[in-house]
Amino acid sequence: MTSAITTSASPAAPSVGAHARLRPIAVGSAAVTGGLWKQRIDANADASIPEGRAQLEKAKNLLNFRIRVGDAEGEPAGPIFADSDVYKWLEAAAWEYARSQDEGLLRDQLEVTELVARAQDADGYLNTVVPARQERYGELPWSHEHYCAGHLIQAAVAQKRATGRDDLLDVAVRLADHLVATFGPGRTEDIDGHPVIEMALVELFRETGTQAYLDLARWFVDARGHGIIEARGHAPTYFSDRLPVREATTVEGHAVRAVYLAAGAADVAIETGDDALLAQLATQYASMRAEKQYVTGGLGSRWDGEAFGDAHELPNDRAYAETCAAIGGVQWAWRMLLATGEAQYADQIELMLLNGMLAGLSLPGTEYFYVNALHIREGAHPDEERSAAHGRRGWFDCACCPPNIMRTLSSLAGYLATTTDGGVQIHQFAPSTIDAGSAALRVETSYPWDGSVRVVVDEAPDGEFEIAIRVPEWAEGATLDGLPVDAGGYATVTRAWARGDELVLELPLDARFVAAHPRVDEARGQRALVRGPLVYAFEAADNAGVVLDDQSVDPASAVTAEERPDLLGGVTTLRTGDLTAIPYHLWANRGPGAMRVWLPVD
């Protein structure tokens, strides 16, 4: 590996020599300028991120750091991985600064950064909770020490890319050097029960060029599945440690752990040119998608162990579908997209962002779902904190999901498009501007409410250039400039361009009923309503006087779409028979109540 100069500044930026077909566009070089995502990005900036810092005070995550540096007294509070929430918030603040250049937010993140830096031990170790509760690295399957380190490193890389500052990066480098000195072949041969360090170390390699970080990431990936966790007395499946990553053909165990590991393995494959590893990850992804993913993109069906179930084990009322798992799924799909250039991964990113993840956030941006059920029965009893029957909540004792949404929304522009030497690829549709270096494009659309996507050339590249626009798999009948294009790929036009040239993609947004795989017992004989990339839900608030649990649908019946600018921030509702449906991600914004995605066929 010669150089690790990054090609752009976004989450997951393969190095120059990396085996990636596509290259990301820096977060600051693309901007969402309107529409659904802008609403959410604004709420993230105006409410979620500032409120998030207040919640970190209230939940004592920041107090833990003050205790560690001697500014306060007491025992650290919260889960053993409490530090990670601070780091995810720092990452969110960094990407948000890249977007808004908000100096107040920069001051805020530097203040928290300074506190974090002071809490670092002289040898680079950094954790505010573990040292007060147990021996350093004494119980890695549960201690989350590498997990917290991974989130710190991700935040540091984001801060460097977004602000150019080294404050947190210096901390991350000292911590990573400590990990390199401590773990690996011939040193301590141990792994954390919760992956994320793999992705983080690869990103730090990309940022610094230090080969040892990539080597350790690869070692952490390859060390799994060889009995390390079992030797410590734990059943390995939960920890993604039953099989080597290179042998596993599906995902299993704790869903967030599994997808974070796969995303890190994809990063390793991209940087080392490991095609065999990449192919294995593609096999795992295909299995997850075909057998273990909800129609909403949600991942992980079991409350028990927050885990993937067996193939087709996808209950609706007891769905877990943790918000973080959808986010981890996006991170994995993004890396697969960069590596392969295959549109299926961009389809997946869209599905998970617009449904599985976005349902986790209230419209004002201050309340969250941890668990994303697909069915809330009449009179459902919220049996515990995470139950969706409560409606969204301001924070959680285990608050992994809220800051995970924050960092995803503040870096969302980074997922819109990519470049190759001779072209640009548009993967996600939003009113936006995309500065691809040699070309600048503008996207005008009301998607996902309307299927028209206009791509305008604002600055033309020299010579021939390819503009590729994703045509989602569901978009049979799509046209580009009036000519039919195949669904499930990219419509491409290669030619010389002039300022003002444009392409117009028309995606058919007819509502459609979809059925699950017949082996999904809990959805057999039922239909879900989808329109474009949006999955719809029937909610009590729109269906007064009706017991949703007693309802059924006729899939042959007409479905009418109605634009409702007055409702839920502006939405298209669907009506079938006597029932009204709204996009799933918007349910529970008018209080909790009965809701269902699947309805039995008449």
Among 400, 401, 506, 539, which one carries the catalytic annotation? 400
- Closer residue to Zn ion (CB): 160 or 257: 257
Would you count residue 25 as binding ligand FUB (CB under 6 A)?
Answer: no
Would you count residue 49 as binding Zn ion (CB under 5 A)?
Answer: no
**Least distance in angstroms from the C-beta of 321 to ligand FUB:** 11
Percent helix / strand / coil, the chain, rounded to 5: 40, 20, 40
State the binding string over 29-68 for ligand FUB (x if CB under 6 A, else -).
----------------------------------------
Residue 398 binding: pick among Zn ion, ligand FUB, none (C-beta 5-8 Å cut-off by kind): ligand FUB
522 is catalytic: no
- Closer residue to ligand FUB (CB): 205 or 320: 320
Residue 449 binding: pick among ligand FUB, Zn ion, none (C-beta 5-8 Å cut-off by kind): none
Q: Which of 86, 201, 401, 520 binds Zn ion (CB under 5 A)?
A: 401
- Closer residue to ligand FUB (CB): 81 or 220: 81
Q: CB–CB of 408/329 below 8 Å?
A: no
Burial of 556: CB neighbours in 10 Å, binned 0-12, 13-18, 19+: exposed
Q: Residues touching ligand FUB: how many (CB under 6 A)?
A: 8
- Closer residue to Zn ion (CB): 324 or 330: 324
- C-alpha distances (whole Å) from 228 to each of 14, 191, 235, 475 are 30, 7, 11, 46
Residue 220 binding: pick among ligand FUB, Zn ion, none (C-beta 5-8 Å cut-off by kind): none
Q: Which of 311, 398, 561, 579 binds ligand FUB (CB under 6 A)?
A: 398
For residue 576, what are the contacts with CB-CB under 8 A and spacing of at least 6?
529, 553, 554, 557, 558, 559, 560
What is the 3-class SS of 286-353, one letter each residue? HHHHHHCECCCCCECCECHHHECCCCCCCCCCCCCCCHHHHHHHHHHHHHHHHHHCCHHHHHHHHHHH
Task: Report the distance separating Cα 244 and Cα 220, nearest Å.
Answer: 11
Residue 81 binding: pick among Zn ion, ligand FUB, none (C-beta 5-8 Å cut-off by kind): ligand FUB
For ligand FUB, the binding residues in 314-343 under the rule CB under 6 A are: 322, 324
**Least distance in angstroms from the C-beta of 535 to Zn ion:** 20
- Closer residue to Zn ion (CB): 88 or 178: 88
Would you count residue 399 as binding Zn ion (CB under 5 A)?
Answer: no
State the binding string over 172-201 for ligand FUB (x if CB under 6 A, else -).
----------------------x-------
Picking from 134, 147, 141, 305, the residue whose alpha carbon sits closest to that of residue 230 is 141
- Closer residue to Zn ion (CB): 223 or 401: 401
Would you count residue 400 as binding ligand FUB (CB under 6 A)?
Answer: yes
Three-state secondary structure call for residue 229 = helix
Picking from 471, 464, 480, 459, the residue whose alpha carbon sits closest to that of residue 421 is 464
Task: Report the distance separating Cα 43 and Cα 160, nearest Å.
Answer: 24
Q: Which helix H or strand E contains 493, and what residues bound it?
A: strand 489-496
Residue 535 binding: pick among ligand FUB, Zn ion, none (C-beta 5-8 Å cut-off by kind): none
Would you count residue 405 as binding Zn ion (CB under 5 A)?
Answer: no
Query: Phi and psi of 293, rounded to 5°?
Result: -120, 135
Would you count residue 400 as binding Zn ion (CB under 5 A)?
Answer: yes
Query: Judged by CB under 5 A, which stretch of 186-194, 210-218, 350-358, 394-402 contacts Zn ion?
Result: 394-402
Q: Which of 90, 201, 282, 324 binds Zn ion (CB under 5 A)?
A: 324
Q: Which of 153, 176, 201, 256 binds ligand FUB (CB under 6 A)?
A: 256
For ligand FUB, the binding residues in 555-594 under the rule CB under 6 A are: none
- Closer residue to ligand FUB (CB): 68 or 194: 194
For residue 304, what are the contacts with CB-CB under 8 A and spacing of at least 6?
none
**Least distance in angstroms from the C-beta of 151 to Zn ion:** 12
**Distance between first and last Cα of the chain:** 61
- Copy the structure tokens of residue 455: 């791509």
**Least distance in angstroms from the C-beta of 323 to Zn ion:** 5
306 is catalytic: yes
For residue 557, what are the contacts with CB-CB under 8 A and spacing of at least 6?
576, 577
For residue 501, what are the contacts with CB-CB under 8 A and spacing of at least 6?
456, 457, 460
Task: Report the distance separating Cα 362 and Cα 48, nearest Å.
Answer: 10
Among 306, 322, 350, 539, which one carries the catalytic annotation? 306
For residue 544, what are the contacts with CB-CB under 8 A and spacing of at least 6?
none
Query: What does DSSP assign to residue 30?
Result: E
Would you count residue 306 as binding ligand FUB (CB under 6 A)?
Answer: yes
What is the 3-class SS of 263-280, one letter each residue? HHHHHHHHHHCCHHHHHH
**Least distance in angstroms from the C-beta of 256 to Zn ion:** 6
Q: Which residues pair with 469 in a beta bridge?
A: 426, 491
**Least distance in angstroms from the C-beta of 122 to ligand FUB:** 27
Query: Judged by CB under 5 A, which stretch of 157-165, 267-275, 393-401, 480-488 contacts Zn ion?
Result: 393-401
Task: Report the distance separating Cα 471 and Cα 343, nearest Å.
Answer: 8
Contacts with ligand FUB by CB under 6 A lie at: 81, 194, 256, 306, 322, 324, 398, 400
| Active site positions, annotated | 306, 400
Contacts with Zn ion by CB under 5 A lie at: 322, 324, 400-401
